[in-house]
């Protein structure tokens, strides 16, 4: 059970009195969390998700609240946080920062269908289009500058071939992105894997867990999505899922010429980003709780596949509806 701070029904019932959401009927801990404590809360009026923040800088939470409020106002499928009777969303409970969210419908897709890829591409394109106007700022904590700095922390744990691979790749990224025109920026999700979405059949119920959200290259966000959503178990890109996702995305936000040129390199860079971050968890900064770290080798294999095979041509945008 990944509930790191247990709550009693009495605590939660008292907490809910701050909001106009009804009286507590049921409380259930959610076992799938990796960083925070999460609970399903049922009242006599609706269903909610309650999150206690166990790690990270609490002064960054207002950025996430503002971003979710902004995206919800623009009718994106995100859980806009519930505000209390005084209009405040960010709360304290059990000496932890806490947020209450509406519970969105659906489940995480394990094997995305073409329709699900299309739906996500469409939603991400819409999100990136409006997020360029979001005024909040939080620097990307996993950008190229971080890669160049953090690589040295894991080098002693790598075989010589992998040391060269990582170092050569980061050098290549610095040349490619340093010589290019600036890429379009905006607020990004930063970690939009399949388990951060909810689908009811082929309908996108919601995009969740924005706690890696930041201001960064929109192409960075898109590459993270494609590497997860359109890759087979061996790291090869599935052409049909790749095309469904990217065509729907570009119907909402066509890629610039510079983005199209740098697309294969960004797929490589975001693959290395997860290889490196997972290595750090295994060797340098293990999780605060007793959880099994994710396999760094998955994204090493994916990076090698991108190097060997590149990226398929970008599909033509679908007609926007």
> Could you tell me the pLDDT band of residue 288, with boundaries at 50, 70 and 90?
low
- What pLDDT, on the 0 to 100 scale, is given for residue 285? 87
Give tens-digit pLDDT for 176-201.
999 999 999 999 999 999 999 999 99
How high is the mean pLDDT of the chain? 94
* Angle, alpha carbons 302-255-192 (nearest 5°): 45
**What are 113's two structure tokens?**
């269908």
pLDDT at 140 over 60: yes
More confident of the two residues 17 and 289 = 17
Mean pLDDT, rounded, for 97-123: 96
Its sign, for the CA torsion 146, 148, 153, 158, is positive
> Could you tell me the pLDDT band of residue 130, with boundaries at 50, 70 and 90?
very high
- Are 144 and 178 in contact, with CB atoms under 8 Å apart? no
- What pLDDT, on the 0 to 100 scale, is given for residue 292? 79
For the whole model, what pTM was predicted? 0.94
């Amino acid at each position: 059970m990944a509930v790191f701070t247990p709550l009693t029904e009495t605590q939660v019932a008292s907490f809910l009195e701050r909001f106009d959401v009804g009286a507590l009927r049921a409380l259930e801990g959610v076992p799938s969390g990796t960083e925070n404590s999460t609970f399903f809360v049922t009242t006599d009026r609706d269903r909610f998700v309650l999150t206690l923040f166990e790690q990270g800088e609490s002064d960054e939470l207002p950025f996430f609240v503002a971003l979710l409020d902004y995206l919800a106002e623009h009718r994106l499928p995100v859980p806009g946080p519930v505000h209390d009777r005084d209009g405040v969303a960010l709360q304290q409970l059990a000496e932890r920062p806490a947020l209450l969210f509406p519970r969105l419908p659906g489940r995480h897709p394990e094997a995305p269908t073409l329709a699900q890829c299309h739906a996500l591409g469409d939603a991400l394109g819409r999100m990136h289009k409006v997020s360029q106007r979001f005024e909040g700022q939080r620097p990307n904590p996993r950008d190229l500058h971080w890669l160049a700095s953090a690589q040295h922390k894991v080098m002693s744990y790598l075989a010589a071939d992998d040391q060269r691979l990582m170092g050569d790749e980061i050098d290549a990224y610095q040349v490619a992105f340093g010589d290019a025109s600036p890429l379009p920026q905006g607020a990004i999700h930063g970690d939009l894997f399949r388990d951060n979405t909810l689908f009811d059949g082929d309908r996108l119920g919601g995009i969740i867990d924005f706690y890696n959200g930041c201001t960064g290259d929109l192409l960075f966000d898109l590459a993270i999505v494609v590497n997860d959503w359109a890759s087979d178990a061996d790291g090869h890109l599935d052409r049909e899922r790749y095309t469904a996702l990217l065509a729907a995305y570009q119907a909402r936000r066509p890629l610039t010429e510079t983005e199209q040129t740098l697309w294969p390199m960004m797929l490589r860079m975001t693959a290395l980003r997860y290889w490196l971050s997972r290595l750090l968890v295994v060797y340098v900064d293990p999780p605060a709780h007793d959880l099994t770290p994710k396999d760094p080798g998955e994204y090493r294999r994916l990076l090698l596949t991108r190097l060997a095979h590149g990226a398929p041509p970008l599909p033509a945008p679908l007609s926007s509806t």
